[in-house]
Amino acid sequence: MSSAAGQPSGPSTGSSPRYAADRPFPRGYTAPPQERRAVADAHTTRLWWSTAAAVVDHAVIAAVVMGCAWPVLWTGRHLVAGLAAAGCGAVLLGRQFRALECLAHEASHFNWARDHRRLNDLLATVLACVPTGSRLAVYRASHLRHHGRFGTRDDPDLANYRRFALEELDRTSVRAFARDALSRMPAYRRRWRETSGGPGRLPVLPFGWAVLLAIAPAGIVWGSWSAAFAAAGVWLLGYGVLLPVVRFLGECNEHVYTGSQTVFDATVSNLGLLQRLLIHPHGDGYHTVHHLWPGVPHHRIRNLHRRLTANDPEGYTARLRHRTKFLSSPVRGLRPKGRTSR
């Protein structure tokens, strides 16, 4: 590690003259002519689909909080069971809150409803931003700078990669990675609040949302104030502890700026099954396609990736930078599958 957590660090190789340049990186990829209609069609949004995805995420969060409240409540003779339930529930909650953050990210690109932007923002604010403690307008301003000024001094993600030396995380073992990641977490959390407009030190709005959705219902269902307090503890562990960890694990794997000169080369797709299920929900793992076409919504991005993998073996498949295991370094080239048609 070349710098302490939270301090700026330059590129480790110095091999790219465009690292933190004044001009944004070029895209570095153009879809084949026969695939351009499919790319255009993939930009179609479905408000009901994104809304339903958020509602399902809410339902899972409520079920996890309420379900874990009972074993956590009776920890007198079953301490191990209570702690195990709280831990497993917190991991699931971290994943589910991250899923809502991914839907807020979708809304920042108007990928819920491109033709009804006020409705896009209203539903995303209520269903995704309030539960996760972010403000859509603040997050959108920062995130669209990342896309529009990619690789320049104005790119907030590049600033994070340099400040926290994310490309230099020790991936030789789980223990080494955890040590490096945890040393960066306090400063990383402060930075996230700056770029997302989070509610400061106390998550008032997310907690109010949790009380209505899961904590009060847990007390009613189990008939005990203690159950409500147990539910609040599980929620706090998931939201306050696991969510920042899952967020960090996702964001530290999305780019390799050093040595890259195009958006295509600097972006990493995380395609492993566990990555897609736990760390990159709602298509967030197909990050290369997202940076090439940010207007492709989450429910269409996987199919577009598969089309390009099958139908552009030289331009896309052989060049794609990706990883399938969390601690592995990204590699280039996928095995092409059979060709697909519209």
User: What value does the mean pLDDT take over residues 251-261?
Assistant: 95
pLDDT band with cut points at 50, 70 and 90 for residue 220: confident
Token couple for 104: 């807020």
The model's pLDDT over 313-325, given as tens digits with 9 standing for 90+, comes to 999 999 999 999 9
Give the pLDDT score at 12: 38
pLDDT band with cut points at 50, 70 and 90 for residue 10: very low
Terminal Cα-to-Cα distance of the chain (whole angstroms): 48
**Domain carrying residue 158:** 47-259
Residue 37 lies in a domain: no
Give the pLDDT score at 224: 80
173 phi and psi angles, rounded to 5 deg:
-160, 165
Residue 324 lies in a domain: no
pLDDT at 81 over 80: no
In terms of DSSP H, where are the helices of the chain? 36-41, 47-73, 79-108, 117-124, 130-132, 136-148, 156-163, 174-196, 204-210, 216-222, 225-236, 243-251, 263-266, 273-274, 287-292, 298-311
Give the pLDDT score at 338: 54
* 269 neighbors 285 (Cβ within 8 angstroms): yes
For the chain, percent of residues with pLDDT exceeding 70 = 87
Give the pLDDT score at 312: 96
The model's pLDDT over 257-288, given as tens digits with 9 standing for 90+, comes to 999 999 999 999 999 999 999 999 999 999 99
Question: Which of 57-71, 125-139, 157-171 has the least mean pLDDT?
Answer: 57-71
Helices 117-124, 47-73: inter-axial angle, 10-degree rounding: 0
Question: Which of 310, 314, 308 has the alpha carbon at shortest distance from 296?
Answer: 308
Question: Which of 20, 53, 71, 48 has the alpha carbon at shortest distance from 230?
Answer: 71
pLDDT band with cut points at 50, 70 and 90 for residue 230: confident
User: What value does the mean pLDDT take over residues 64-79?
Assistant: 70
More confident residue, 21 or 50: 50
More confident residue, 87 or 57: 57
Give the pLDDT score at 3: 34
333 phi and psi angles, rounded to 5 deg:
95, 125
User: What value does the mean pLDDT take over residues 293-302?
Assistant: 98
Total Cβ atoms within 10 A of residue 13: 10
Distance CA 330, CA 324 (A): 8
Domain count, the chain: 1
Give the pLDDT score at 85: 76
Residue 124 lies in a domain: yes
Residue 174 lies in a domain: yes
Residue located via tokens 């409540």: 73
Give the pLDDT score at 2: 37
Distance CA 127, CA 131 (A): 7
Distance CA 269, CA 277 (A): 14
Question: Which of 7-11, 209-213, 296-300 has the least mean pLDDT?
Answer: 7-11
Residue 266 lies in a domain: no
Token couple for 35: 């695939």
Give the pLDDT score at 20: 53
For the chain, percent of residues with pLDDT exceeding 90 = 70
Residue 24 lies in a domain: no
The model's pLDDT over 40-55, given as tens digits with 9 standing for 90+, comes to 999 999 999 999 999 9
pLDDT at 15 over 90: no
Q: Which amino acid belongs to residue 239?
A: Y
User: What value does the mean pLDDT take over residues 2-22?
Assistant: 42
Calculate the CA 200 to chain-centre distance: 20
- What strands lie across the sheet with 321-323, from one edge to the other? 269-270, 321-323, 331-332
Residue 299 lies in a domain: no
Residue 317 lies in a domain: no
